[in-house]
Amino acid sequence: MASRNQQRPLRVAIVGAGIGGLMLTAALQHMDKDKKLQVQVYEAAPLLAEIGAGINLWLRSWEILRAIDLEETFVKMMDEAPTDEDRLVFQLRKSDQAEGVHLSDLKMKGGTMRFHRAELQLALMDRVNTNGCVHLDRRLVRYTEYENHVELEFHDGSLINCDILIAADGIKSSVRKQFLNSLAKGMFTGGTDPVWSGTYAYRGLLSHDAIEKEFPGHRAKASPVIHLVVYPLSNGRFTNVVAFCTDPELEGVPWNEVPPLSATHDELRSQYRGWEPEVQALLNLIQAPTKWAINNLNPLERYASHRVFLAGDAAHAMTPHQGAGAGQAIEDAYILASLLTESGVNRKNIPSVAEVYNSVRCPAANAILLASRDQGKWCELDHPRFKTVNEGDVVSKERLDRLCCDISSAWDWVWKTSAESDRQKALDMLSSQYAKDACSIM
């Protein structure tokens, strides 16, 4: 007969109710067929008010959403569900001149699914919080890890015990610093804080009616374009515009936390003097641009240890140039939920789950983090083959075609590979670990 302690559900505390935290909650709820988990989510904000405009998801992520029964939730926010057909993802365009040049139509199987971040977060909240498992205005101050549990201390002085702590609290994670500093000596050698990419992003969300009035027939209404990063949102009602400005010499410098800033219209326009008219039209419409420092993390050696796990941006915050940040958070959720809901998982072998999660997710997510940095450089012509090229220079079609091939190839993983192989690898590793643990007991 199982002991009373073994029968008690595993208490899972998720810190952060952003896309990553809510996606993990949804995955755990769907996969926990045996009702072995008690999942609670703690969010620091008193209200859910996600900032930022749009996120991209790819076919690789869509397969996961289908597997955890979230397809219908997402389809409601789309013009149409994705298919296996090749679809336009972006038009690549060189626009830093009076007459822009079309470079390439980037197409891939399934295309890309784009969502308004706040709409998606609220839809996930409605889906997972039917049992009141999400607690707002609960800011974690610190945690204390013991052999058999983790104690959480919140800003109001309250204490909560859990068996597993999962930090999905973003790039400014309060858990990550304590987690990394607590690792055994020699285990971790990198920094714990975000670093600056050297890039500022000016953002705006424009109505299609305004675009048509300013520039009749503008391609941005129907086609996603990379001159600026431009794509439609909210079933075609709005266009998301992101204008990147980069100083390569500042890449990797430590970043002192600064919230998004208001920028003047003149400041934004000064960054794009001489660019083609359709770019100027979009900039003219951003009357109150916001200015964001694009930060990311240096790759971490570990995302988990013992009973504490990092997920999403808390583990591998990356630049947006591959549209992969949300997708990697979804993959964290899928792998971690698959491991924690395995029948053999109990309080004693949670550290084994942490080691498997490290082995599978660290190399995969860190590789995408670095690839995203490279993709941003290539899209701004900061490429080894363009060292002598300045903004506005005429570049031969042959050189631009080779660059487009590099950009396209760097996205192959989002539609030519599947997270299912990583999931199976993780489950096989966990099974092998069980066998080793059994042998050591005999």
* CA distances (Å), origin 223, targets 120, 204, 216, 229, 327: 22, 17, 14, 11, 22
* Residue 1 to residue 9: CA distance in whole angstroms: 16
- The region that residue 347 occupies, defined by phi over 0 for left and psi between -120 and 50 for alpha, beta otherwise, is alpha
Cβ neighbours around 42 below 10 Å, total = 24
In this structure, the number of other CB atoms found within 10 A of the CB of residue 194 comes to: 22
- Looking only at the bridges linking them, the beta strands covering 101-109 and 86-94 are antiparallel
pLDDT at 438: 59
Question: Edge-to-edge strand order for the sheet containing 238-246?
Answer: 101-109, 86-94, 225-226, 229-233, 238-246, 195-207, 290-296, 261-262
CA distances from residue 196 to 104, 133, 252, 292, 327 in whole angstroms, order as listed: 30, 35, 5, 11, 22
Contact 193, 254 (CB under 8 A): yes
Per the structure block, which two tokens stand in for 297?
């993390």
Domains of the chain: 4-79+114-194+298-441 (3.50.50.60), 196-296 (3.30.9.30)
Structure token digits, residue 55? 């996120």
Residues near 421 by beta carbon (within 8 Å), at least 6 away in sequence: none
Which three-class secondary structure state does DSSP give residue 125? helix
pLDDT of residue 3: 46
Judge contact between 94 and 228, C-beta under 8 A: no
Q: Per-residue b/e over 350-363, b at no fewer than 16 CB within 10 Å?
A: bebbbbbbbebbbe
304-305 vs 150-154, strand pairing mode: unpaired
Q: What's the gap between Cα 163 and its chain centre?
A: 26
- The span from the CA of 263 to the CA of 285, in Å, is 14
CA–CA gap between residue 229 and residue 134 (Å, rounded): 34
The three-class DSSP label of residue 440 is helix
In this structure, how many other beta carbons lie within 10 angstroms of the beta carbon of residue 7? Answer: 9
Grouped pLDDT means (10 residues each) for the chain, 442 residues: 62 96 97 95 86 79 95 86 85 88 89 86 93 96 95 97 97 93 63 87 86 84 72 71 88 76 87 91 88 92 96 96 94 98 93 97 97 90 82 87 90 92 96 71 47
Q: What is the pLDDT of residue 191?
A: 67
Whole-Å CA distances, 369 to 115, 204, 361: 21, 25, 12
